[in-house]
Amino acid sequence: MFSQIPLLALLVLGPVGIFAAIVLTLTRKYQKEWRKPFLKMAKPAGCWLQSQADLQIEHLMIATVGMVTSPLVPWALWKGPQDTIGLAIIGIAATAFWIWRAIKAGLAYRQIRLGLLGEQLVGQVLDRLSSDRIRVFHDYQVTEPGKKPWNIDHVVLTPSGLFALETKTRRMPHRYSKEDPSHKVRFDGKRLVFPAPLKPDYSSLRQAARSSEKLSAILTQATAVETKALPMLVLPGWSVERRAVGDVTILNEESLPKYFSHHGSAFEQRQFERIERHLQEACKLVC
């Protein structure tokens, strides 16, 4: 019985591998025979998160195939009562593995989907502001040697300044009270304090600051003129209560139009155009 374990493993995992191979083969065949009528486009808001959501759906599909086939293999190999316990253990273990994979993919998709909706909401607000004076870009990718690439969610360029925006979407508790309103987040100078049971958030502020610093360094090098990007953190749907002053501007999506309505001149026209060209090229999606 146990000498057949390699064969059983092959039979359990084989259908999943065959399914994945068929999908991959058909996808590559389609890509060779057909192409899109355009080669490049500006990245939409949430472009990277959309790709991650699609990846989790693929994982969920593969796990579903595994869940369906895992119980069938032991049943097909059963020859008598002497095989019952061993095959049952293998079948239960294989099914439990694929159930775990499906749950993991489902939870990841749920969280990614929330972040994607938040970025798309902020992107819609920013895109409505886009004009000759206000230029909006999404998913600016940062690549550093020896590190995993990461994205700045949105970049806004205006004559009055350059802004690096990070969007953080958090779910709200259903309850509501005057003492601890479920829709308010407080900034105390060092952290974001959300209503319980949500934990205080330090990392989002650090990420926003890091994004602006990196964008400043990249554009200073690209334009040969010192360029400073200002950090912003957008919390879709939340009411922000500021109890201290910090380096990062914190607001919700409804406050963006008013924030970018201020006029001023931080860049010369030539520098503005150089920055714009760099951002246009960096935020193109190769189709």
7-43 pLDDT, tens digit per residue, is 555 655 666 677 777 877 887 787 777 666 765 788 8
Per-residue model confidence (pLDDT) at position 80 = 66
Whole-number Å distance between alpha carbons of 193 and 200 = 5
Number of helical H runs and strand E runs in the chain: 7, 10
Q: What's the one-letter identity of residue 265?
A: S
Per-residue model confidence (pLDDT) at position 2 = 47
Residue 1 reports pLDDT greater than 60: no
123-163 pLDDT, tens digit per residue, is 999 999 998 889 999 999 998 888 888 999 999 999 989 99
Query: Residue 43 carries which DSSP code?
Result: P
Per-residue model confidence (pLDDT) at position 77 = 65
Whole-number Å distance between alpha carbons of 153 and 142 = 11
Residue 256 reports pLDDT greater than 70: yes
Confidence class of residue 287 from pLDDT cuts 50, 70 and 90? very low
Residue 250 reports pLDDT greater than 70: yes
More confident residue, 189 or 212: 212
61-115 pLDDT, tens digit per residue, is 888 888 888 777 666 666 667 666 777 787 788 889 999 999 999 999 999 999 9
Could you tell me if 269 and 201 are in contact, meaning their C-beta atoms sit under 8 angstroms apart? Answer: no
Confidence class of residue 221 from pLDDT cuts 50, 70 and 90? very high
- Domains of the chain in start order, with CATH, are 2-112 (no CATH), 130-286 (3.40.1350)
- Which DSSP string do the residues of 101-121 spell out, in sequence order? HHHHHHHHHHHHHHHHHHHHH
Could you tell me if 194 and 170 are in contact, meaning their C-beta atoms sit under 8 angstroms apart? Answer: yes
Q: Give the H/E segment covering residue 179.
A: none
Reported pTM: 0.80
Could you tell me if 223 and 275 are in contact, meaning their C-beta atoms sit under 8 angstroms apart? Answer: yes
**pLDDT averaged over every residue in the chain:** 85
Query: Residue 4 carries which DSSP code?
Result: G
Could you tell me if 138 and 153 are in contact, meaning their C-beta atoms sit under 8 angstroms apart? Answer: yes
More confident residue, 116 or 39: 116
Per-residue model confidence (pLDDT) at position 232 = 96
Whole-number Å distance between alpha carbons of 238 and 165 = 16
Residue 266 reports pLDDT greater than 60: yes
